[in-house]
Amino acid sequence: MKQKNSLTTYLIIVICGFYFTAQYYPNILHLSLPLQQELFLIKSAYFPDGQLHGVDHGEYWRLITVALTHGSITHLLFNMLAMWQLGTIIEQIYGKTKYIIIMLGALLAGSAASYFFNPSNVPAVGASGMIFGLFAALLVTSRKHGIDYKNVIGVIVINLLITFLVPNIDWHAHVGGLLGGALTTYLVRTFNRPQKRLGNI
């Protein structure tokens, strides 16, 4: 049974809120740059204000705030649907604190891969790295909690194929998030194993 008022629901509301604010009220916070440009992940580039911006220039928040940005409404909807489906399950199994740890591990790993392997002046947007981490968390969790791991593997393979076949997708972030989510979930399970078992998922 899905929890009402779950952390997953609140995260979806926040991410959608940032997307629509960036689209329709980009200067609402009176920052030096439009909201989307303040949040997306980029290594180093000159922006319209004539200044160099990016992680290389101390803007480390971009490694996390990239999850608050999306390239289109379709991009947002697909990611939020996946987050709602996957995140609700992981949150039920591990509880809110461990769920946050897993998501942050996946997000930071995905952002790090994007940062290290993408061109310096190409921005990255989206929560996809974190969502791939949730796929990995479900896979790591599956056999101990009555989840059909073969179905999980199938879904991961399909999404990875899409990642590599569709142009302009940051596959580095997806693979990094997948590995980061798997490692973080494994560590969470090792130090404090969850007690809940979910059947027929």
Q: Are 152 and 109 in contact (CB under 8 A)?
A: no
Catalytic site residue from 53, 70, 172, 174: 174
The total of other beta-carbon atoms located within 10 Å of residue 190's CB is: 8
128 among known catalytic residues: yes
Nearest in space to 36 (alpha carbons), one of 79, 68, 3, 73: 68
Catalytic site residue from 70, 128, 145, 172: 128
Rounded Cα distance, 148 and 31, in Å: 47
Rounded Cα distance, 176 and 171, in Å: 8
Could you give the residue numbers annotated as active site?
Answer: 128, 174
